[in-house]
Copies of this chain bind each other. A is one copy, B any other.
Amino acid sequence: MKIGIVGLGLIGGSLGLDLRELGHQVWGVSRNSDTCERAVARGVVDRASVELSLLAKADLVFVCTPIDAIASSVKQLSVFLAPSAIITDVGSVKTAVIDQVGLLWHNFVGGHPMAGTAESGIEAGIAGLFAGNPYVLTPVEATPKEAVMVVEDVVRSLQARVYFCRPQEHDQAVAWISHLPVMVSASLISAGMAETNPLVLPLAQDLASSGFRDTTRVGGGNPELGLMMARYNRDCLLRSLVAYRQNLDQLIEGIEQEDWQGLEKKLTSSQLDRRRFFPQ
């Protein structure tokens, strides 16, 4: 198949490596000409250009730009592509993307590969990034069945675990497991910085170990990603945040009232509930 990739970062680059390995012809587009050169040099794509016209003959295009550039990329692409061409994206929010893009291109299938590393950029792309990881597809009623099947086949060939759901369900699920944790974790970092005893903060910094490291990892990540989550998944994120705050309020009230039985029950539930996410 002739496959185009717009945006040659961690996800776009990793897709290119796998798709070429699978025998597809892969063409890449980046705004940055250095990135195009590196992509060819690293074997991520067969050809690369700063011009979307390079993808004119593509059967399938992965749009791997940041969320706020997906719609404009699709709009510009639509001038060059054949009507039969399929576009899919890799954005971590689906409702907002599909609301915009569905009007721009008929053969559009929303997607979200849930894989990554701490790195970014063309050098971060690695083969096998998607293998064993979830890849969510969110076709809507208007999405052509044929287009969904083509995208599904390609995604399965990456050895990803494919899930289908509605965009709204995807967005609420990732609000819980991805976007809420970023906000909770970021607040954990910044709350401590308000400590007024000058001896405590340096001591806390010396003593912090794996527990604090793990709990603050996602909150200390790329601010642009956190911002995109909040902007484009605002309603679901707020719904999760408000439920979280309610839960935290109950916990604080319990500790204030020295309701130790209640606290033990709550912590025991948390321990059990976590095993529903990560069975031992």
Contact = CB atoms under 8 A, between A and B. Distances in A.
Interface of A: 114-115, 133-134, 136, 161, 163, 165-166, 169-170, 172-174, 176-178, 180-195, 197, 199-200, 203-209, 211-224, 226-227, 230-231, 234, 237-238, 240-249, 251-252, 255-256, 258, 260, 263-264, 266-271, 273-278
Given A166-B199, A183-B248, A230-B260, 5 more contacts: A181-B212, A181-B216, A184-B248, A186-B267, A191-B247
Contacts of A133: 209
Secondary structure of the A side of the interface? helix
Given A203-B165, A212-B277, A252 B241 contact: yes
A214 B221 CA distance: 13
A195 to B, nearest CB: 7
Given A215-B218, A226-B267, A200 B169 contact: yes
Nearest to A241: B252
Contacts of A207: 114, 134, 136, 163, 173-174, 177-178
Contacts of A240: 191-192
Nearest to A261: B227
A47 B175 CA distance: 54
A218 B223 contact: no
B172 A195 contact: yes
Contacts of A266: 186, 190
Q: Assembly of this chain: how many copies?
A: 2
Nearest to A117: B210
Contact of A192 (B176, B205, B251): B176
A238 B248 CA distance: 12
A115 B263 CA distance: 25
Q: Which 4 A-B pairs have the closest CB atoms?
A: A220-B274, A223-B267, A186-B270, A191-B244
A241 B223 contact: no
Contacts of A212: 177-178, 181, 277
A243 B252 CA distance: 11
17 contacts: A114-B207, A114-B209, A172-B200, A172-B204, A177-B212, A181-B188, A183-B251, A189-B270, A208-B278, A219-B274, A220-B271, A220-B275, A230-B263, A231-B258, A234-B258, A238-B256, A241-B251
